[in-house]
């Protein structure tokens, strides 16, 4: 099997699954229970929180466990908007965002908030200057994806954080789901107030995530009931999931130092080879994240390509997994000004540290064969 759909989800590390199983069996008690079993579970939860904080170079009290990226983004965006709406109702974001951010913004618009959607350039990037120019006296939040889940384009998070230091009343949220472990980012140095990550993007299990909340920042919770996670995220903690997330995060970061450069080399090789196929145009910019490559095969249905590859045990996607069953042109690619033909024929290849050159060679050869065969059929 050649699995090149890691931006949709990664294959869990066996050690992560083992950790989940061990914790689920041995630490099954509710961490809020007062008896000794509950206390043991609580101690393990606290240890996991401290470990995640250490890896991310933040404070343990700033780590809040969620069910993943979608919940984290919604809590950050809606929680900030509702907490600060008396101060102002203007929010700045981009047209590149994941659907969990984009749809949360649309919901807030229906509630009377004013949303500025910044338009990226042809490289899939907005500028920090665009953000500063969009700020008004009513602005309460800037929400930005770090790495585009479709294009792999990197946004100017550090530069934006530097600008927002001049506006201390504006909250800065970063969706770091696709960048975590692949594109280095210092939460503290970038002056980020809220940061979202999701376990299944770094070989953890689905249904587990983290929202970093800068100390002193208040959010309106999405849920009611209970004081878990300081009331920000009520509900009995998924202890086995949290501990396995911690394991996956540590393992992924341990690999990152040695693997990021080779990952970039591998995706660059694929990019060069695929570019030679007639009818292919590259959508990802040159300065992209090392693991995401997006290209269009003009006048060919991407879902047909995806299925033809799958028949040969190769797995890629068309766009964000959350939107892949919607056969409309990609919202993100359309926002760059790409034609409908180009925006509706995109293929996304997304790699992990464990992918190999042999897999890439097989993928490129197979893709060339499929495209050649399909063009012959069309001509007939």
CB atoms under 10 Å from CB of 4, counted, come to: 25
Q: The tokens of 67 are what?
A: 């069910």
169 vs 375: CA distance, rounded Å: 56
* Active-site option among 53, 322, 361, 364: 322
Helix (H) or strand (E) holding 78: helix 69-84
172 vs 161: CA distance, rounded Å: 7
156 vs 147: CA distance, rounded Å: 10
What's the CA angle centered on 10, arms 335 and 338, to 5 degrees?
15
Q: Is 305 helix (H, G, I), strand (E, B) or coil?
A: helix
* Ranges assigned E (strand) in the chain: 2-3, 63-66, 90-94, 114-118, 139-145, 171-175, 194-198, 209-213, 280-282, 292-297, 314-315, 346-350
195 is an active site residue: no
Burial 338-363 (b: 16+ CB within 10 A, else e): beeebbbbbbbbbbbbebeeebbeeb
* Torsion angles phi and psi, residue 189, rounded to 5: -65, -30
- H-assigned helices in 135-227: 157-164
Q: What's 82-93 look like in SS3?
A: HHHCCCCCEEEE
Which residues are CB-contacts of 208 (< 8 A; sequence separation ≥ 6)? 65, 66, 67, 68, 198, 199, 200, 238, 241, 242, 244, 245
Closest CA to 185 of 319, 57, 62: 57
Helix (H) or strand (E) holding 150: none
* Torsion angles phi and psi, residue 194, rounded to 5: -140, 135
Residues carrying an active site annotation:
322
């Amino acid at each position: 099997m050649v699995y090149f759909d890691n931006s949709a989800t990664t294959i869990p590390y066996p050690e992560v699954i083992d950790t989940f199983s061990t914790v689920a069996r041995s630490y099954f008690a509710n961490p809020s229970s007062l008896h000794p079993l509950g206390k043991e579970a609580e101690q393990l939860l606290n240890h996991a929180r401290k470990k995640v904080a250490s890896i991310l170079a933040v404070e343990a009290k700033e780590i809040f466990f969620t069910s993943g990226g979608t919940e984290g983004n919604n809590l950050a965006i809606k929680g900030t908007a509702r907490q600060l709406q008396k101060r102002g109702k203007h929010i700045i974001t981009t047209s590149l965002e994941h659907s969990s951010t984009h749809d949360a913004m649309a919901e807030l618009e229906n509630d009377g908030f004013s949303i500025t959607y910044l338009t990226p350039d042809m490289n899939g990037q907005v500028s920090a200057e665009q953000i500063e120019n969009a700020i008004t006296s009513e602005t309460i939040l800037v929400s930005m994806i770090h790495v585009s889940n479709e294009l792999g384009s990197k946004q100017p998070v550090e530069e934006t954080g530097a600008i927002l230091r001049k506006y201390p009343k504006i909250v800065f949220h970063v969706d770091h789901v696709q960048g975590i472990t692949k594109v280095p980012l210092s939460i503290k140095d970038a002056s980020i107030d809220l940061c979202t990550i999701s376990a299944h993007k770094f070989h953890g299990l689905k249904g587990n995530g983290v929202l970093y909340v800068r100390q002193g920042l208040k959010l309106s919770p999405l849920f009611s009931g209970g004081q878990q996670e300081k009331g920000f995220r009520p509900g009995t903690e998924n202890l086995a999931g949290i501990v396995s997330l911690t394991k996956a995060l540590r393992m992924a970061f341990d690999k990152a130092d040695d693997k990021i450069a080779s990952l970039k080399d591998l995706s660059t090789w694929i990019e060069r080879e695929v570019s030679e196929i007639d009818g292919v145009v590259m959508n990802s910019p040159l300065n992209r994240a090392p693991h995401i490559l997006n290209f269009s095969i003009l006048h060919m249905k991407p879902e047909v390509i995806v299925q033809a590859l799958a028949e040969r045990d190769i797995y890629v996607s068309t766009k964000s997994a959350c939107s892949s069953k919607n056969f409309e042109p990609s919202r993100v690619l359309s926002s760059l000004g790409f034609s409908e033909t180009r925006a509706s024929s995109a293929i996304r290849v997304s790699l992990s540290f464990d992918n190999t050159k042999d897999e890439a060679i097989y993928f490129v050869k197979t893709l060339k064969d499929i495209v050649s065969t399909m063009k012959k059929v069309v001509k007939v």
